[in-house]
């Protein structure tokens, strides 16, 4: 079993690495941004999935330190590329709601932007609807402040949470990311397709950008283009990969 101790050692001994997965324009395949996804190179277990260790880190509270490391690392890497004059893309970082709701989160973000020199326009934060639990008003105010700092805000795993849709009315976000559960059987389930179409139409009326995740088949891309989805992410285009590999990708992605 993975223990608190292992996570502590992992942070101390630099066992985490960020991978990056492209997000592309649905029609042209042009790279629009990248999502940072943490990987753990465990000394005996090999590479451990964040699907396993993120929930543990949330339970132990170590997500605070890990989350700060991820944010700093993503900003630093992109800022370094930017400084070298390399082509750069906005980087999206996943933020746990524990991290978001903790006092001082806004200062932490501002501090990391200042330290790394990353232009805030190149930073996106992805959060799930669960940030609303335990104080919707406060979450709305904080999102407003992040937006005021020129940071892009996306709601991740959209449609899978248990919040009511009405929060979208007041939350000043830029993007929603359709969970890959909706994409999986978009070609076979009429109900699923109707939900996806409804979300895209609603989002566009609110001037929100829609990203569909988990695109694995060309037919899913074609279907989502027909439904006017803006951006796509998934193994069809590229898997999450080290930063160096990302720089070698063709643009547009086929
Ligand atoms: O990369 P992968 O698909 O295995 O990620 C599994 C889950 O872990 C996803 O829900 C993803 O959002 C989450 N995750 C990956 N990296 C991070 C991170 O840096 N911070 C947080 N909070 N979650 C992450
Ligand atoms: O919860 P979040 O959306 O951050 O999760 C991102 C996770 O989805 C990452 O672990 C990433 O590896 C995974 N992922 C990205 N693209 C695909 C895909 O096309 N298919 C599947 N099954 N998983 C994907
Ligand atoms: Mn995400
Ligand atoms: Na998601």
How confident is the model over 121-127, as a mean pLDDT? 98
Task: Output the CA 55–ligand 1 centroid distance in Å.
Answer: 10
Confidence of residue 147 (pLDDT cuts 50, 70, 90): very high
| Residue 215 counted as domain residue | yes
| Residue 160 counted as domain residue | yes
- List % helix, strand, coil for the chain (3-state, nearest 5): 45, 20, 35
Backbone angles phi, psi at 43, to 5 degrees: -60, -30
Domain containing 156 equals: 4-245
3-state secondary structure 135-187: CHHHHHHHHHHHHHCCCEEEEEEECCCCCCHHHHHCCCCCEEEECHHHHHCCC
| Residue 251 counted as domain residue | no
Residue nearest to atom 9 of ligand 2 (CA): 37
Residue 25's domain is classified under what CATH number? Answer: 3.20.20.450
Confidence of residue 4 (pLDDT cuts 50, 70, 90): confident
| Residue 19 counted as domain residue | yes
Residue 1 clears pLDDT 70, i.e. is over it? no
| Residue 139 counted as domain residue | yes
**Probe residue for ligand 2, chosen from 36, 128, 214 as the CB with the greatest number of ligand atoms within 8 Å:** 214
| Residue 119 counted as domain residue | yes
Residue 15 clears pLDDT 70, i.e. is over it? yes
| Residue 75 counted as domain residue | yes
The residue among 242, 244, 212, 207 whose CA lies nearest residue 230 is 212
Torsion sign across C-alpha atoms 62, 54, 130, 200: positive
Q: What does the alpha-carbon distance between residue 117 and residue 17 come to, in Å, rounded to a whole number?
A: 21
Ligand with the closest atom to the CA of 160: 4
Residue 3 clears pLDDT 90, i.e. is over it? no
Q: What pLDDT is recorded for position 165? A: 83
Query: 50 in ligand 1 pocket by Cβ < 6 Å?
Result: yes
Query: 179 in ligand 2 pocket by Cβ < 6 Å?
Result: no
ipTM score for this prediction: 0.97
The total domain count for the chain is 1
Q: What pLDDT is recorded for position 200? A: 97
Task: Output the CA 126–ligand 4 centroid distance in Å.
Answer: 9
The residue among 78, 75, 62 whose CA lies nearest residue 11 is 62
Task: Output the CA 124–ligand 1 centroid distance in Å.
Answer: 15
Residue 189 clears pLDDT 70, i.e. is over it? yes
Place of tokens 């990311």: 177
| Residue 254 counted as domain residue | no
**Probe residue for ligand 2, chosen from 34, 154, 180 as the CB with the greatest number of ligand atoms within 8 Å:** 180
pLDDT digit string (tens) for 16-69? 999 999 999 999 999 999 999 999 999 999 999 999 999 999 999 999 999 999
Percent of the chain having pLDDT more than 70? Answer: 100
Query: 214 in ligand 2 pocket by Cβ < 6 Å?
Result: yes
Q: Rounded to two decimals, what is the model's pTM?
A: 0.97
Residue nearest to atom 6 of ligand 1 (CA): 51
The residue among 123, 97, 99 whose CA lies nearest residue 110 is 123
pLDDT digit string (tens) for 212-236? 999 999 999 999 999 999 999 999 9
Q: What does the alpha-carbon distance between residue 68 and residue 108 come to, in Å, rounded to a whole number?
A: 8
Backbone angles phi, psi at 154, to 5 degrees: -120, 145
pLDDT digit string (tens) for 84-96? 999 889 999 999 9
pLDDT digit string (tens) for 173-188? 999 999 999 999 999 9
**What integer best gives the mean pLDDT of the chain?**
95
Neighbour-count burial of 140, counting CB atoms closer than 10 A to its CB (0-12 exposed, 13-18 middle, 19+ buried):
middle
């Amino acid at each position: 079993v993975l223990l608190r101790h292992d996570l502590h050692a992992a942070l101390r001994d630099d066992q985490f690495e960020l991978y990056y997965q492209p997000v592309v324009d649905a029609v042209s395949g042009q790279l629009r941004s990248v999502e940072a996804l943490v990987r753990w190179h465990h000394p005996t277990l090999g590479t451990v999935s964040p699907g396993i260790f993120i929930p543990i880190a949330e339970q132990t509270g170590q997500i605070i330190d890990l989350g700060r490391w991820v944010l700093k690392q993503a900003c630093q890497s992109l800022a370094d590329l930017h400084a070298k004059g390399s082509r750069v893309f906005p980087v999206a970082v996943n933020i746990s709601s524990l991290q978001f709701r903790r006092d001082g989160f806004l200062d932490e973000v501002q501090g990391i932007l200042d330290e790394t020199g990353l232009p805030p326009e190149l930073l996106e934060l992805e959060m799930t609807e669960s940030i609303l639990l335990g104080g919707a008003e406060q979450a709305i105010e904080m999102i407003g402040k992040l937006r005021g700092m020129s940071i892009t805000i996306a709601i991740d795993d959209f449609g899978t949470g248990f919040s009511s849709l009405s929060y979208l009315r007041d939350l000043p976000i830029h993007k929603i990311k359709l969970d890959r559960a909706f994409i999986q059987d978009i070609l076979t389930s009429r109900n699923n397709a109707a939900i996806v179409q409804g979300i895209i139409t609603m989002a566009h009326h609110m001037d929100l950008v829609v990203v569909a995740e988990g695109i694995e088949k060309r037919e899913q891309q074609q279907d989502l283009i027909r439904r006017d989805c803006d951006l796509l992410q998934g193994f069809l285009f590229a898997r999450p990969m080290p930063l160096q590999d990302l720089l070698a990708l063709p643009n547009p992605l086929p």
